[in-house]
Amino acid sequence: MRTYARGMATTGLRYSSTLLINRSYPQPTGKRLISSTPQSHIKEYFPPPDAPKIVKVTSAWHHPVYTEEEMRQVTVGHREAKNWSDWVALGSVRVLRWGMDLVTGYKHPAPGQEHIKKFQMTEKEWVRRFVFLESVAGVPGMVGGMLRHLRSLRRMKRDNGWIETLLEEAYNERMHLLTFLKVAEPGWFMRLMVLGAQGVFFNGFFLSYLVSPRTCHRFVGYLEEEAVLTYTRAIKDLESGRLPHWEKLEAPEIAIRYWKMPEGHRTMKDLLLYVRADEAKHREVNHTLGNLKQAVDVNPFAVEWKEPTKPHPSKGIKHLKTTGWEREDVV
């Protein structure tokens, strides 16, 4: 099998064949088993830590368990822009989306045009889009969490539970990125694009969050609407047989552990369902945070409710709201 590393020069992405192999075959830790790349180039992209006394690295955040039924109920959706702040957020996402489509070579088809050749995406093109999308998506939660942390220190006031949810979102997005990097490794062109995008986006988002955090959460809400759309389309492509290499592909180990994927539900399609559900959760969280008074309201995703049996915002996706929770329902 000699599929590894083809097309890197033109796409900036190496499509890894590591995951196409039979997992029952013993694999040496930290090495790619099958590859046409010379041995000197073969190394695990981010191998487990080389520390014989340590079993594994643990995390403070444990991903909630999603059922397949819950994940199947996730739908594409849009919150109508209602004021100037919403329009600024929506306009910015549209500009960003245009840039991202350009960089990742994505053309979104109108309904009914999915079968036309120029709109069709290969596995490699999809994963390139995922990697770029996730490398950008991990920025806002960290910036928002950091600025709220600093504000709490500076003003000597409580944060009301926002910081943790925002940092957890950034962590979750980074796990998406690490997962997709197990499927394909970026080449120099892609890395350059990610570097440039991060430089611009981090600074832009940082300054914007200082000016209007509410607009920034709305912006992330709209960005996540696009993410749900992207993953929904990829799942549809996979289910309709347009991505044959992914049909039998198992999800990487890092993903199985992170999402606690049950036995028999560990394929690439399952993985995309999990990621899409996470994006839908971010969409809900950020649209909700965009509805709240930033300085005084409690984060409804980090509370215990007086009436736990009623539908409330939560960490899971059981009562997921596409357009977020309105302020009067949660405060």
* CA angle at 249 for the pair 177 and 27, rounded to the nearest 5°: 85
Residues 175-194 that bind Fe ion (CB under 5 A): 176
Per-residue b or e along 95-107, where b marks 16 or more CB atoms closer than 10 Å to that residue's CB: ebbeebeebbebe
Neighbours of 289 (CB within 10 A): 26
Residues 203-242 that bind Fe ion (CB under 5 A): 224
Neighbours of 62 (CB within 10 A): 11
* Runs of H (alpha helix) within the chain: 8-11, 68-72, 84-104, 123-137, 139-155, 162-181, 188-211, 213-239, 253-259, 268-291, 327-330
Query: Token pair for residue 324?
Result: 């977020």
Closest approach, Cβ 129 to Fe ion, in A, equals: 11
The piece of 115-123, 165-173, 187-195, 317-325 that touches Fe ion (CB under 5 A) is 165-173
Closest approach, Cβ 155 to Fe ion, in A, equals: 29
- Whichever of 124 and 282 has its CB closer to Fe ion, that residue is 282
Query: Token pair for residue 48?
Result: 């487990």
Among 86, 159, 173, 284, binds Fe ion (CB under 5 A): 173
- Whichever of 224 and 270 has its CB closer to Fe ion, that residue is 224
- Whichever of 173 and 225 has its CB closer to Fe ion, that residue is 173
Give the Cα separation of 140 and 119 in Å (integer).
30
Q: Does 255 bind Fe ion (CB under 5 A)?
A: no
Please work out the total of residues on this chain that contact Fe ion, with binding judged by CB under 5 A: 7
Residues 126-155 that bind Fe ion (CB under 5 A): 134, 137
Closest approach, Cβ 135 to Fe ion, in A, equals: 10
Reference 137, options 70, 65, 205; nearest CA is 205
Residues 19-38 that bind Fe ion (CB under 5 A): none
Task: Tell me 110's DSSP state.
Answer: P
- Whichever of 32 and 176 has its CB closer to Fe ion, that residue is 176
Residues 264-293 that bind Fe ion (CB under 5 A): 279, 282
Which residues fall within 8 angstroms of residue 90, CB to CB, at 6 or more apart? 81, 218, 222
- Whichever of 13 and 177 has its CB closer to Fe ion, that residue is 177
Closest approach, Cβ 186 to Fe ion, in A, equals: 16
- Whichever of 134 and 250 has its CB closer to Fe ion, that residue is 134
Which regions of 101-161 does DSSP assign to beta strands (E)?
A: none
Annotated binding site for Fe cation: 134, 173, 176, 224, 279, 282
Give the binding site for Fe ion (CB under 5 A).
134, 137, 173, 176, 224, 279, 282
